[in-house]
């Protein structure tokens, strides 16, 4: 299968930090070939970077032209548009990195290694239920839960190397009363109730139209609406606002983010055992004042730079950067 190409400088998009930084849970890295296989928008993709381009293959898809709001485009351009939207490639990240670096020395240091960290533009339904699964959980188990949701309640897309891939479930498929008991059987624990109850609420409130209304609201109003759902607290609400509702000033605060803030920006918060509501707001407001309307995106770069699993990949990232430079010189 041939590769399609989208022009994109490697400094503008780093697949490793973007796809492996805890935003999405459906991507797997083939280290031998430095390729990524994953699912979004009812489509199975294979991605890689080569010089100044993002290359992709569409392995299988359930997409119809009417799904994309671009029915006048050729099929290959439809998939190109989906990828560009997913990685928000219309935004010049270098300009924002320069702006954030001028405001913050720590960011200036972090971005040398963690260039090209993109805030994915995810589908709200997948984003919301993936992050319900993320509560008090680690990434490998979150990924397993998300795949169970897809296998049992999504639609089959295709089979690759003996593995069958499914789309993320429609919201109605998760709202049935029988879903909770089934998910408990599958090991979701208390999250089973949150998933079924939240899905039922969203269906009652209008489904996609409700999500669209959240995008049109001011950030704080959208966050409050999300917190009316079963099992959705401030952090998960901020994740959804940031990653799928275009409220890029949203800043999810967990203990990890608290430690970054306390050690480097707000020393009076050091040594606290729990992140209180007051502390949560103070940390978010501090970074919004520092970075501006895209504070959540800027702070994601700091978050990636501080993650141990990404730190352990420093040598690989340096090698990747150097290899891209060499390819550009050819």
Positions marked active-site:
235
Residues 115 and 18: their CA atoms lie apart, in Å, by 10
- 308 CB-contact burial (10 Å; exposed 0-12 / middle 13-18 / buried 19+): exposed
- 218 CB-contact burial (10 Å; exposed 0-12 / middle 13-18 / buried 19+): exposed
Beta strands in 20-72 (DSSP E): 27-30, 35-40, 43-50, 53-61
What are the angstrom distances between the C-alpha of 147 and each of 89, 97, 119, 120, 151? 27, 34, 22, 19, 6
Residues 86 and 121: their CA atoms lie apart, in Å, by 5
Please check whether residue 175 is in contact with residue 200, taking contact to mean a CB–CB distance below 8 angstroms.
yes
């Amino acid at each position: 299968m041939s590769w399609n190409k989208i022009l994109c400088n490697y400094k503008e998009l780093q697949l490793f930090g973007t796809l492996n930084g805890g935003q999405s849970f459906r991507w797997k890295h083939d280290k031998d070939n430095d390729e990524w296989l994953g699912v979004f928008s009812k489509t199975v993709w294979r991605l890689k970077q080569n010089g100044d381009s993002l290359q992709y293959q569409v392995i299988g898809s359930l997409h119809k032209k009417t799904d994309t709001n671009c029915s006048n485009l050729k099929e290959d351009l439809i998939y190109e548009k989906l990828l560009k939207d997913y990685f928000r490639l219309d935004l010049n990240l270098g300009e924002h990195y320069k702006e954030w670096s001028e405001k913050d020395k720590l960011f200036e240091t972090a971005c040398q290694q963690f260039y090209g960290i993109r805030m994915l533009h995810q589908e709200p339904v997948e984003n919301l239920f993936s992050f319900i699964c993320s509560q008090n959980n680690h990434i490998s188990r979150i990924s397993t839960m998300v795949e169970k949701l897809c296998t049992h309640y999504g639609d089959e897309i295709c089979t690759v190397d003996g593995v069958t891939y499914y789309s993320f479930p429609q919201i109605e498929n998760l709202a049935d009363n029988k879903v909770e008991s089934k998910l408990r059987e599958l090991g979701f624990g208390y999250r089973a109730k949150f998933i079924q109850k939240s899905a039922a609420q969203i269906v009652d409130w209008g489904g996609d139209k409700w999500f669209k209304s959240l995008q049109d609201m001011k950030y704080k109003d959208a966050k409050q609406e999300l917190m009316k759902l079963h099992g959705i607290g401030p952090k998960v609400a901020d994740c959804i606002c940031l990653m799928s509702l275009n409220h890029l000033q949203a800043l999810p605060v967990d203990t990890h983010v608290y430690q970054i803030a306390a050690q480097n920006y707000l020393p009076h918060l050091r040594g606290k055992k729990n992140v209180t509501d007051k502390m949560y707001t103070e940390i978010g407001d501090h970074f919004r004042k520092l970075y501006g309307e895209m504070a959540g995106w800027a702070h994601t770069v700091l978050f990636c730079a501080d993650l141990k699993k990404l730190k352990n990949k420093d040598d690989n990232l340096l090698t990747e950067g150097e290899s891209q430079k060499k390819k550009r010189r050819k």
